[in-house]
């Protein structure tokens, strides 16, 4: 019996999941080729593009656990790539800044990584990239909405009268 060419939701999910895994491995290898580990690269990239941030703000941007991010910042500080300074707004907070050396390394590492990703994405035409971007964004936003609705239903059911 011949398999149907119809793209079902489970089949599409499988292709998205497999593609994500493969693309993630390629991206991780690209980052490893810069000489940085993933958490160090992510922290440097966030600081490069967002400017000085607290460790908590960096965590929120790169979605790493608190201990992992603190360890990354400790490593980067020892290498002279970042410095921690007191926050002018909150005395309790420390703001992480790139040093000149850190900024150079972050910029060159990100540029190299971006070129690797561009080479990979060159398999798609500009129109295909736009369509894929819009489709995945639409799907992701719907998934977030469904999760929020589910969370509201569950938290609403847990309340007592």
Tens of pLDDT along 100-132?
999 999 999 999 999 999 999 999 999 999 999
Is residue 93 within a helix (H) or strand (E), and if so which, with residue range?
Answer: none
Express as a percent the part of the chain with pLDDT over 90. Answer: 78
Q: Is 31 in contact with 38 (CB distance < 8 Å)?
A: yes
* Residue range 31-46: mean pLDDT, rounded: 94
Indicate the pairing of strand 94-98 with strand 53-54.
antiparallel
The whole-number pLDDT of residue 155 equals 84
The whole-number pLDDT of residue 45 equals 96
The whole-number pLDDT of residue 130 equals 97
Half-sphere exposure of 131 (CA within 13 A, CB side): 5
Q: What are phi and psi of 94, to 5 degrees?
A: -115, 135
The whole-number pLDDT of residue 138 equals 97
């Amino acid at each position: 019996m011949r398999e149907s060419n119809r793209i079902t939701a489970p089949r599409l999910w499988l292709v998205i999941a497999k593609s994500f895994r493969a693309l993630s491995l390629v991206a991780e290898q690209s980052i490893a080729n810069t000489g940085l580990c993933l958490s160090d690269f992510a922290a440097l990239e966030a600081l490069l593009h967002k400017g000085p941030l607290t460790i908590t703000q960096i965590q929120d941007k790169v979605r790493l656990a608190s201990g992992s991010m603190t360890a990354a910042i400790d490593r980067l500080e020892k290498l002279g790539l970042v410095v921690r300074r007191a926050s002018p707004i909150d005395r309790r907070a420390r703001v992480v800044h790139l040093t000149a050396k850190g900024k150079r390394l972050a910029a060159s590492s990100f540029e190299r990584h971006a070129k690797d990703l561009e080479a990979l994405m060159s398999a798609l035409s500009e129109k295909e990239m736009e369509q894929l971007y819009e489709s995945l964004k639409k799907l992701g936003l719907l998934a977030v909405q469904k999760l929020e609705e589910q969370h509201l239903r569950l938290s609403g059911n847990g309340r007592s009268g």
